Structure 1
Protein backbone atom coordinates (compact mmCIF):
# COMPACT_ATOMS: atom_id res chain seq x y z
CA UNK A 1 0.00 0.00 0.00
CA UNK A 2 1.66 3.20 -1.23
CA UNK A 3 0.46 6.77 -0.97
CA UNK A 4 0.10 8.93 -4.10
CA UNK A 5 3.73 10.03 -3.84
CA UNK A 6 5.10 6.47 -3.68
CA UNK A 7 5.75 6.26 0.07
CA UNK A 8 4.77 3.21 2.11
CA UNK A 9 3.07 4.03 5.46
CA UNK A 10 5.17 2.61 8.24
CA UNK A 11 5.88 2.84 11.97
CA UNK A 12 9.24 3.16 13.68
CA UNK A 13 9.89 2.20 17.29
CA UNK A 14 12.41 3.70 19.69
CA UNK A 15 12.38 1.47 22.77
CA UNK A 16 14.22 2.84 25.81
CA UNK A 17 15.08 1.11 29.06
CA UNK A 18 15.25 2.67 32.53
CA UNK A 19 18.69 4.15 31.76
CA UNK A 20 17.46 5.76 28.50
CA UNK A 21 19.48 3.33 26.43
CA UNK A 22 17.82 2.46 23.12
CA UNK A 23 17.08 -0.98 21.71
CA UNK A 24 19.29 -1.51 18.69
CA UNK A 25 18.70 -4.57 16.49
CA UNK A 26 21.07 -6.21 14.02
CA UNK A 27 19.26 -7.15 10.80
CA UNK A 28 19.30 -10.88 10.23
CA UNK A 29 22.28 -12.08 8.16
CA UNK A 30 23.47 -8.51 7.60
CA UNK A 31 25.96 -6.19 9.22
CA UNK A 32 23.48 -3.34 9.61
CA UNK A 33 21.68 -2.22 12.75
CA UNK A 34 18.37 -0.40 13.05
CA UNK A 35 15.33 0.31 15.21
CA UNK A 36 12.29 -1.96 14.84
CA UNK A 37 9.96 -0.74 12.10
CA UNK A 38 7.31 -2.06 9.77
CA UNK A 39 4.42 -1.36 7.46
CA UNK A 40 0.94 -0.28 8.43
CA UNK A 41 -1.61 -2.74 7.06
CA UNK A 42 -4.90 -1.68 5.48
CA UNK A 43 -7.40 -0.68 8.19
CA UNK A 44 -4.75 -0.56 10.91
CA UNK A 45 -3.97 2.55 12.97
CA UNK A 46 -0.32 3.52 13.49
CA UNK A 47 -0.62 2.44 17.15
CA UNK A 48 -2.06 -0.97 16.20
CA UNK A 49 0.74 -1.44 13.65
CA UNK A 50 3.32 -0.46 16.27
CA UNK A 51 2.10 -3.12 18.71
CA UNK A 52 1.96 -5.76 15.96
CA UNK A 53 5.47 -4.93 14.75
CA UNK A 54 6.78 -4.78 18.33
CA UNK A 55 5.63 -8.35 18.88
CA UNK A 56 6.65 -9.68 15.45
CA UNK A 57 10.14 -8.20 15.54
CA UNK A 58 11.17 -8.33 19.20
CA UNK A 59 8.53 -10.44 20.96
CA UNK A 60 7.19 -7.72 23.25
CA UNK A 61 3.51 -7.21 23.95
CA UNK A 62 1.53 -4.17 25.06
CA UNK A 63 1.97 -5.09 28.74
CA UNK A 64 5.77 -5.03 28.36
CA UNK A 65 5.93 -1.35 27.33
CA UNK A 66 4.56 2.10 28.03
CA UNK A 67 4.03 4.61 25.22
CA UNK A 68 5.92 7.81 26.08
CA UNK A 69 5.12 9.71 22.88
CA UNK A 70 5.01 9.73 19.10
CA UNK A 71 6.00 12.06 16.30
CA UNK A 72 3.44 14.67 15.32
CA UNK A 73 3.82 14.16 11.58
CA UNK A 74 5.01 11.59 9.07
CA UNK A 75 8.79 11.47 8.63
CA UNK A 76 9.93 10.38 5.17
CA UNK A 77 13.01 8.86 3.64
CA UNK A 78 13.70 7.86 0.07
CA UNK A 79 15.28 4.51 -0.65
CA UNK A 80 18.14 4.60 -3.19
CA UNK A 81 17.10 3.07 -6.54
CA UNK A 82 19.64 0.24 -6.27
CA UNK A 83 17.88 -0.95 -3.07
CA UNK A 84 14.39 -1.04 -4.66
CA UNK A 85 13.05 -4.23 -6.25
CA UNK A 86 12.87 -3.95 -10.04
CA UNK A 87 9.11 -4.40 -10.17
CA UNK A 88 8.60 -1.46 -7.76
CA UNK A 89 11.04 1.03 -9.30
CA UNK A 90 8.41 3.06 -11.15
CA UNK A 91 6.09 3.48 -8.15
CA UNK A 92 7.95 3.04 -4.85
CA UNK A 93 10.05 5.91 -3.47
CA UNK A 94 10.50 5.04 0.20
CA UNK A 95 8.88 5.04 3.62
CA UNK A 96 6.79 7.55 5.51
CA UNK A 97 6.83 6.81 9.21
CA UNK A 98 5.15 7.68 12.46
CA UNK A 99 7.68 7.09 15.24
CA UNK A 100 6.79 5.91 18.74
CA UNK A 101 8.94 6.13 21.84
CA UNK A 102 8.27 3.32 24.29
CA UNK A 103 9.68 2.59 27.73
CA UNK A 104 10.36 -1.05 28.53
CA UNK A 105 8.15 -1.95 31.49
CA UNK A 106 9.13 -5.61 31.40
CA UNK A 107 12.53 -7.26 31.61
CA UNK A 108 15.29 -7.69 29.04
CA UNK A 109 14.45 -11.41 29.08
CA UNK A 110 11.00 -10.59 27.65
CA UNK A 111 12.68 -9.69 24.34
CA UNK A 112 12.49 -12.55 21.84
CA UNK A 113 13.91 -12.22 18.34
CA UNK A 114 12.15 -15.46 17.34
CA UNK A 115 8.53 -14.45 18.04
CA UNK A 116 7.75 -14.60 14.31
CA UNK A 117 8.32 -17.15 11.55
CA UNK A 118 10.25 -14.44 9.67
CA UNK A 119 12.67 -12.87 12.16
CA UNK A 120 14.03 -9.40 11.36
CA UNK A 121 16.96 -9.39 13.81
CA UNK A 122 19.55 -11.94 14.88
CA UNK A 123 21.14 -9.87 17.68
CA UNK A 124 20.32 -6.84 19.79
CA UNK A 125 21.84 -4.57 22.42
CA UNK A 126 21.14 -1.45 24.45
CA UNK A 127 22.99 1.56 23.02
CA UNK A 128 23.45 5.15 24.12
CA UNK A 129 20.57 7.31 22.91
CA UNK A 130 22.46 9.12 20.13
CA UNK A 131 24.59 6.18 18.84
CA UNK A 132 22.10 5.19 16.09
CA UNK A 133 22.81 8.44 14.25
CA UNK A 134 26.35 7.29 13.56
CA UNK A 135 25.47 3.65 12.93
CA UNK A 136 22.30 3.57 10.80
CA UNK A 137 22.47 3.26 7.02
CA UNK A 138 22.94 6.68 5.39
CA UNK A 139 19.56 7.04 3.68
CA UNK A 140 17.71 6.59 7.01
CA UNK A 141 19.93 8.95 8.99
CA UNK A 142 17.84 12.12 8.52
CA UNK A 143 14.64 10.43 9.72
CA UNK A 144 16.45 8.88 12.69
CA UNK A 145 17.81 12.30 13.61
CA UNK A 146 14.36 13.91 13.37
CA UNK A 147 12.70 11.15 15.42
CA UNK A 148 15.40 11.05 18.12
CA UNK A 149 15.39 14.83 18.51
CA UNK A 150 11.60 15.21 18.53
CA UNK A 151 11.07 12.34 20.97
CA UNK A 152 14.05 13.08 23.26
CA UNK A 153 11.83 15.25 25.47
CA UNK A 154 10.03 12.07 26.57
CA UNK A 155 13.25 10.34 27.61
CA UNK A 156 15.19 13.20 29.21
CA UNK A 157 13.95 15.60 31.89
CA UNK A 158 16.69 18.18 31.45
CA UNK A 159 16.76 20.08 28.14
CA UNK A 160 20.57 19.99 28.11
CA UNK A 161 20.45 16.18 27.87
CA UNK A 162 17.99 16.16 25.00
CA UNK A 163 20.30 17.26 22.24
CA UNK A 164 24.08 17.00 22.16
CA UNK A 165 25.80 20.03 20.62
CA UNK A 166 26.91 18.09 17.55
CA UNK A 167 23.27 17.17 16.79
CA UNK A 168 22.19 20.82 16.92
CA UNK A 169 25.00 21.74 14.54
CA UNK A 170 23.86 19.18 11.98
CA UNK A 171 20.09 19.46 12.42
CA UNK A 172 18.11 20.38 9.33
CA UNK A 173 14.56 21.68 9.82
CA UNK A 174 11.69 19.43 8.63
CA UNK A 175 10.57 22.05 6.08
CA UNK A 176 13.99 21.99 4.42
CA UNK A 177 13.93 18.20 4.16
CA UNK A 178 10.48 18.27 2.57
CA UNK A 179 11.69 20.83 0.03
CA UNK A 180 14.84 18.80 -0.68
CA UNK A 181 12.91 15.58 -1.39
CA UNK A 182 10.34 17.19 -3.67
CA UNK A 183 12.70 18.93 -6.03
Structure 2
Protein backbone atom coordinates (compact mmCIF):
# COMPACT_ATOMS: atom_id res chain seq x y z
CA UNK A 1 0.00 0.00 0.00
CA UNK A 2 1.40 3.41 -1.00
CA UNK A 3 0.22 6.58 0.75
CA UNK A 4 -0.66 9.93 -0.86
CA UNK A 5 2.94 11.17 -0.47
CA UNK A 6 4.37 8.17 -2.34
CA UNK A 7 5.65 6.15 0.63
CA UNK A 8 5.02 2.42 0.78
CA UNK A 9 3.68 1.39 4.21
CA UNK A 10 6.01 -1.19 5.67
CA UNK A 11 7.13 -2.97 8.84
CA UNK A 12 10.73 -3.58 9.89
CA UNK A 13 11.75 -6.37 12.25
CA UNK A 14 14.73 -6.49 14.60
CA UNK A 15 14.93 -10.01 16.04
CA UNK A 16 17.13 -10.36 19.12
CA UNK A 17 18.41 -13.45 20.89
CA UNK A 18 19.08 -13.89 24.61
CA UNK A 19 22.63 -12.57 24.20
CA UNK A 20 21.34 -9.27 22.80
CA UNK A 21 22.62 -10.01 19.29
CA UNK A 22 20.35 -9.36 16.32
CA UNK A 23 19.32 -11.42 13.31
CA UNK A 24 21.05 -10.23 10.12
CA UNK A 25 20.23 -11.76 6.75
CA UNK A 26 21.63 -11.71 3.23
CA UNK A 27 19.17 -11.03 0.43
CA UNK A 28 18.81 -14.07 -1.82
CA UNK A 29 21.24 -14.02 -4.73
CA UNK A 30 22.74 -10.68 -3.66
CA UNK A 31 25.58 -9.37 -1.55
CA UNK A 32 23.44 -7.02 0.54
CA UNK A 33 22.35 -7.74 4.11
CA UNK A 34 19.39 -6.32 6.01
CA UNK A 35 16.74 -6.84 8.68
CA UNK A 36 13.50 -8.55 7.64
CA UNK A 37 10.93 -6.04 6.39
CA UNK A 38 7.88 -5.98 4.18
CA UNK A 39 4.82 -4.14 3.01
CA UNK A 40 1.54 -3.69 4.82
CA UNK A 41 -1.43 -4.87 2.77
CA UNK A 42 -4.70 -2.94 2.41
CA UNK A 43 -6.85 -3.49 5.55
CA UNK A 44 -3.93 -5.11 7.41
CA UNK A 45 -2.71 -3.61 10.68
CA UNK A 46 1.04 -3.30 11.35
CA UNK A 47 1.08 -6.11 13.95
CA UNK A 48 -0.55 -8.56 11.52
CA UNK A 49 1.84 -7.47 8.75
CA UNK A 50 4.82 -7.98 11.06
CA UNK A 51 3.80 -11.55 11.96
CA UNK A 52 3.07 -12.37 8.29
CA UNK A 53 6.44 -11.00 7.13
CA UNK A 54 8.25 -12.72 10.00
CA UNK A 55 6.88 -16.06 8.83
CA UNK A 56 7.36 -15.44 5.10
CA UNK A 57 10.96 -14.23 5.41
CA UNK A 58 12.30 -15.98 8.53
CA UNK A 59 9.93 -18.92 9.04
CA UNK A 60 9.09 -17.94 12.61
CA UNK A 61 5.55 -18.26 13.90
CA UNK A 62 4.32 -16.04 16.71
CA UNK A 63 4.82 -18.70 19.41
CA UNK A 64 8.60 -18.48 18.82
CA UNK A 65 8.91 -14.74 19.48
CA UNK A 66 8.00 -12.15 22.07
CA UNK A 67 7.24 -8.57 21.06
CA UNK A 68 9.37 -6.24 23.17
CA UNK A 69 8.40 -2.87 21.68
CA UNK A 70 7.72 -0.98 18.48
CA UNK A 71 8.54 2.51 17.33
CA UNK A 72 6.15 5.21 18.43
CA UNK A 73 5.60 6.49 14.91
CA UNK A 74 6.54 5.98 11.28
CA UNK A 75 10.19 6.16 10.24
CA UNK A 76 10.83 7.09 6.59
CA UNK A 77 13.50 6.72 3.97
CA UNK A 78 13.55 7.86 0.37
CA UNK A 79 14.79 5.75 -2.48
CA UNK A 80 17.67 7.08 -4.56
CA UNK A 81 16.46 8.46 -7.89
CA UNK A 82 17.83 5.48 -9.85
CA UNK A 83 15.57 3.06 -7.87
CA UNK A 84 12.33 4.99 -8.39
CA UNK A 85 10.16 3.34 -11.04
CA UNK A 86 8.75 6.42 -12.76
CA UNK A 87 6.36 4.43 -14.96
CA UNK A 88 4.62 2.65 -12.08
CA UNK A 89 1.39 3.85 -10.51
CA UNK A 90 1.04 4.83 -7.81
CA UNK A 91 4.56 6.22 -7.76
CA UNK A 92 6.65 4.94 -4.83
CA UNK A 93 9.43 7.29 -3.68
CA UNK A 94 10.37 5.43 -0.49
CA UNK A 95 9.10 3.58 2.53
CA UNK A 96 7.58 4.56 5.84
CA UNK A 97 7.95 1.91 8.47
CA UNK A 98 6.85 0.85 11.92
CA UNK A 99 9.79 -1.00 13.46
CA UNK A 100 9.49 -3.84 15.96
CA UNK A 101 12.03 -5.42 18.24
CA UNK A 102 11.34 -9.05 19.10
CA UNK A 103 13.04 -11.61 21.30
CA UNK A 104 13.45 -15.13 19.97
CA UNK A 105 11.84 -17.49 22.50
CA UNK A 106 12.36 -20.55 20.32
CA UNK A 107 15.70 -21.83 19.08
CA UNK A 108 17.86 -21.14 16.04
CA UNK A 109 16.43 -24.36 14.57
CA UNK A 110 13.01 -22.65 14.33
CA UNK A 111 14.43 -20.15 11.81
CA UNK A 112 13.71 -21.22 8.22
CA UNK A 113 14.43 -19.17 5.13
CA UNK A 114 12.39 -21.40 2.80
CA UNK A 115 8.80 -20.63 3.82
CA UNK A 116 7.82 -18.71 0.69
CA UNK A 117 7.94 -19.50 -3.03
CA UNK A 118 10.65 -16.88 -3.54
CA UNK A 119 12.76 -16.68 -0.37
CA UNK A 120 13.88 -13.19 0.60
CA UNK A 121 17.10 -14.40 2.24
CA UNK A 122 19.63 -17.16 1.58
CA UNK A 123 21.93 -16.79 4.61
CA UNK A 124 21.73 -15.39 8.13
CA UNK A 125 23.78 -14.81 11.27
CA UNK A 126 23.61 -13.17 14.70
CA UNK A 127 25.51 -9.87 14.89
CA UNK A 128 26.21 -7.25 17.54
CA UNK A 129 23.37 -4.78 18.04
CA UNK A 130 24.98 -1.85 16.19
CA UNK A 131 26.65 -3.85 13.38
CA UNK A 132 23.81 -3.30 10.85
CA UNK A 133 24.61 0.44 10.68
CA UNK A 134 27.96 -0.33 9.06
CA UNK A 135 26.60 -2.98 6.70
CA UNK A 136 23.17 -1.91 5.43
CA UNK A 137 22.77 -0.18 2.05
CA UNK A 138 23.51 3.55 2.43
CA UNK A 139 20.00 4.90 1.84
CA UNK A 140 18.54 2.81 4.70
CA UNK A 141 21.29 3.70 7.18
CA UNK A 142 19.53 6.66 8.84
CA UNK A 143 16.22 4.83 9.34
CA UNK A 144 18.16 1.89 10.83
CA UNK A 145 19.95 4.28 13.20
CA UNK A 146 16.61 5.79 14.27
CA UNK A 147 14.97 2.39 14.83
CA UNK A 148 17.92 0.88 16.70
CA UNK A 149 18.30 3.97 18.90
CA UNK A 150 14.63 4.25 19.81
CA UNK A 151 14.14 0.56 20.47
CA UNK A 152 17.40 0.14 22.39
CA UNK A 153 16.25 2.76 24.90
CA UNK A 154 13.04 0.80 25.43
CA UNK A 155 15.01 -2.36 26.07
CA UNK A 156 17.54 -0.80 28.40
CA UNK A 157 14.90 0.95 30.48
CA UNK A 158 12.72 -2.13 30.66
CA UNK A 159 9.81 0.09 29.64
CA UNK A 160 8.94 2.19 26.61
CA UNK A 161 11.10 5.32 26.51
CA UNK A 162 10.48 6.90 23.14
CA UNK A 163 9.00 3.62 21.93
CA UNK A 164 5.51 2.25 22.27
CA UNK A 165 5.13 -0.91 24.33
CA UNK A 166 3.13 -3.54 22.53
CA UNK A 167 0.63 -5.70 24.32
CA UNK A 168 0.93 -9.39 23.52
CA UNK A 169 -1.82 -11.77 24.63
CA UNK A 170 -3.24 -9.22 27.05
CA UNK A 171 -0.02 -8.27 28.84
CA UNK A 172 2.74 -5.79 28.23
CA UNK A 173 5.61 -7.60 26.58
CA UNK A 174 8.31 -5.08 27.45
CA UNK A 175 11.43 -6.72 28.87
CA UNK A 176 14.95 -5.62 29.62
CA UNK A 177 17.44 -7.75 27.72
CA UNK A 178 21.15 -7.20 27.22
CA UNK A 179 22.09 -5.26 24.09
CA UNK A 180 25.35 -3.92 22.76
CA UNK A 181 25.85 -0.22 23.37
CA UNK A 182 28.59 0.46 20.84
CA UNK A 183 29.01 -0.54 17.20
CA UNK A 184 31.21 -3.58 16.69
CA UNK A 185 32.09 -6.15 14.04
CA UNK A 186 30.04 -8.97 12.56
CA UNK A 187 29.40 -12.27 14.22
CA UNK A 188 31.44 -15.27 13.24
CA UNK A 189 28.40 -17.54 13.49
CA UNK A 190 26.75 -17.54 10.07
CA UNK A 191 24.08 -19.89 8.83
TM-score normalised to the size of structure 1? Answer: 0.84
Residue in 1 that maps onto 2:133: 133
Distance in 2, Cα, partners of 1:107 & 1:14: 16
Distance in 2, Cα, partners of 1:39 & 1:124: 21
Residue in 1 that maps onto 2:27: 27
Distance in 2, Cα, partners of 1:21 & 1:2: 32
Alignment of structure 1 residues 142-181 onto 2, 5 Å: 142-156=142-156, 163-164=181-182
Shift of 1:85: 2.8
Whether the 8 Å CA contact 1:81–1:89 is kept in 2: the answer is no
Q: How many residues align structurally?
A: 164
Residue in 2 that maps onto 1:49: 49
Residue in 1 that maps onto 2:79: 79
Residue in 1 that maps onto 2:118: 118
Whether the 8 Å CA contact 2:128–2:180 is kept in 1: the answer is no
Structure 1 residues 4, 86: closer, same or farther in 2, change over 3 A? Answer: closer
Kindly provide the CA deviation profile for residues 97-145 of structure 1, in whole angstroms up to 9, marking residues without a partner as x.
Answer: 0000000000000000001111000000000000000000000000000
Whether the 8 Å CA contact 1:25–1:34 is kept in 2: the answer is yes
Distance in 1, Cα, partners of 2:42 & 2:136: 28
Distance in 2, Cα, partners of 1:71 & 1:162: 19
CA RMSD in angstroms comes to 2.0
Distance in 1, Cα, partners of 2:131 & 2:89: 32
Whether the 8 Å CA contact 1:156–1:162 is kept in 2: the answer is no
Distance in 2, Cα, partners of 1:23 & 1:89: 34
Unaligned runs of 5+ in 2: 159-178, 184-191
Shift of 1:92: 1.4
Distance in 2, Cα, partners of 1:142 & 1:90: 25
Distance in 1, Cα, partners of 2:157 & 2:6: 38
3-state SS in 2 of match to 1:103: strand
Unaligned runs of 5+ in 1: 166-183
Shift of 1:157: 5.4
3-state SS in 2 of match to 1:96: strand
Whether the 8 Å CA contact 2:129–2:181 is kept in 1: the answer is no
TM-score normalised to the size of structure 2? Answer: 0.81
3-state SS in 2 of match to 1:117: coil
Distance in 2, Cα, partners of 1:55 & 1:18: 20
